[in-house]
Amino acid sequence: MNQNKIGAFISERRKAKGWTQNQLAEKLGITDKAISKWETGRSMPDLALFIPLCGLLEITLNELFAGECIPDENIKEKADEVLMEVITNWLGNDKGKLKADEVTQKNVLEVQNISKIYETEGNSVLAVNDVSFQVAQGRFVGIMGASGSGKTTLLNLIATIDKPTNGIIRIGGQNIVDIAEEDTANFRREHLGFVFQEYNLLETLTIYENIALALTVKETPKESIGQIIQNISEKLDISAVLDKFPYEVSGGQRQRCACARAIAVKPDIILADEPTGALDSHSAKQLLSVFVMLCKEYNATILMVTHDVMAASYCDRILFMQDGEIKATLNREQKNKQTFFADILKRMEWIEGESHDVFEIVNS
């Protein structure tokens, strides 16, 4: 990879747009110092910025890594190599593989033709449009999509926080759409685990009490609670903070505590909405490794909403949402994390390209 060449290319494309470094920085929500570092070859853009940067500069990912416009498909492979190099540098090497027993696992979650229409002041929004998919036990599935594409709505429907306008959702075989309003809180406690960005833990209870409370609600025998908490805390590296209050621990520890609480009660499925959203990249990677471990060792099933490619690259499968629909699905299969990361980036680029048809035609 030639960082200088890439930097010069970014600079050239920025100038062609008539933007100052400051203007480009503003569009990306970063400082102009960062832009200056890229353009002089001193650093590479953060992976999370690749897609928006390419979009703004009207170049493809491969062109960004090649450091030039690519008229010819032959250079594509070379650029793919460079992309893998960058990703490996950033994510580290990963040889991790999936378990092969997928076929024998039953579906924990079945979503059939669900739609959600929000009616507001004579205005109706089709937030989820005829979505269907299944998740087998032990899988870690990600939902990606731009802001407003319906990710949270979909997750809330599955979480029984909201009711679909149409369709069927089965969790552990039970159609949750039929559950009476007053029984939903019970259903959530019995069958679901939550790891959200905020509001995860009760602030007036210690970490230990937070986990114990969830177990008590699930009618776990008193004498086994201590042992369960000790085991899971060791696994998640939070033994040392059990007696602290949530506000006394770091964001990463809080999220791992939320994981401990979620898994301790053996839910049918763990739902996570942007769980890494407020974490630094080290804590984010730690949390994602915990998710992967829970699936592998506890046969947990996780559905995670994220707009972060790095987070998504830990999943087994990604559903891409756009305008309330699932536009594409990507399976990790036997690929390592780096290759999957590259696949996700390219798929996002493709989806964004699809939505800019008019624009593409004008340019060609």
Chain contacts with ligand ADP (rule: CB under 6 A): 118, 120, 125, 127, 145, 147-153
Helix (H, G, I), strand (E, B) or coil at 122: coil
Nearer Cβ to Mg ion (152/301): 152
Question: What are the backbone dihedrals phi and psi of residue 174, each rounded to the nearest 5 degrees, phi first?
Answer: -95, 130
Closer residue to ligand ADP, CB minimum distance, 151 or 191? 151
Indicate which of ligand ADP, Mg ion, none lies near residue 150 (CB less than 5 to 8 Å, by partner kind).
ligand ADP
Comparison of 118 and 359: residue with beta carbon closer to ligand ADP: 118
Stretch binding Mg ion (CB under 5 A), from 52-60, 147-155, 175-183, 329-337: 147-155
| 205/241 Cα distance (integer angstroms) | 12
Could you tell me the smallest distance in angstroms from the CB atom of residue 149 to ligand ADP? Answer: 4
Q: Which is nearer to ligand ADP, 295 or 348 (CB)?
A: 348
Q: Which stretch binds Mg ion (CB under 5 A): 40-48, 100-108, 149-157, 169-177?
A: 149-157
* Partner from Mg ion, ligand ADP, none binding residue 233, C-beta < 5-8 Å depending on class: none
Rounded CA-CA distance 227/285 in Å is 27
- What own/partner pairs with CB < 8 Å and gap ≥ 24 does 156-164 have? 157/114, 157/116, 157/128, 158/109, 158/111, 158/269, 158/271, 158/303, 159/188, 159/192, 159/194, 159/271, 160/184, 160/187, 160/188, 160/192, 162/116, 164/114, 164/115, 164/116, 164/128
- C-beta separation of 348 from 322 below 8 A: no
What the block records as the tokens of 285 is 């990677």
Residue 128: CB minimum distance to ligand ADP, A: 7
Residues 6+ apart with CB under 8 A from 224: none
Among residues 21, 129, 137, 152, which is the contact residue for Mg ion, using CB under 5 A? 152
Dihedral sign computed on CA atoms, order 232, 234, 236, 237 = positive
Q: How far is the CB of 152 from Mg ion (least distance, A)?
A: 3
Helix (H, G, I), strand (E, B) or coil at 6: helix
**276 lines the binding site for Mg ion (CB under 5 A):** no
In whole angstroms, the minimum distance from the beta carbon of 194 to ligand ADP comes to: 15
Indicate which of Mg ion, ligand ADP, none lies near residue 84 (CB less than 5 to 8 Å, by partner kind).
none
Nearer to ligand ADP, 214 or 319 (CB): 319
**Residue 307: Cβ within 10 Å count:** 18
> Binding segment for Mg ion among 10-18, 152-160, 287-295, 330-338 (CB under 5 A)?
152-160
Nearer to ligand ADP, 28 or 146 (CB): 146
User: Least distance to ligand ADP from the beta carbon of 307, Å?
Assistant: 8
Q: Which of 150, 153, 157, 167 is CA-nearest to residue 325?
A: 150
Binding site for Mg ion (CB under 5 A): 151-152
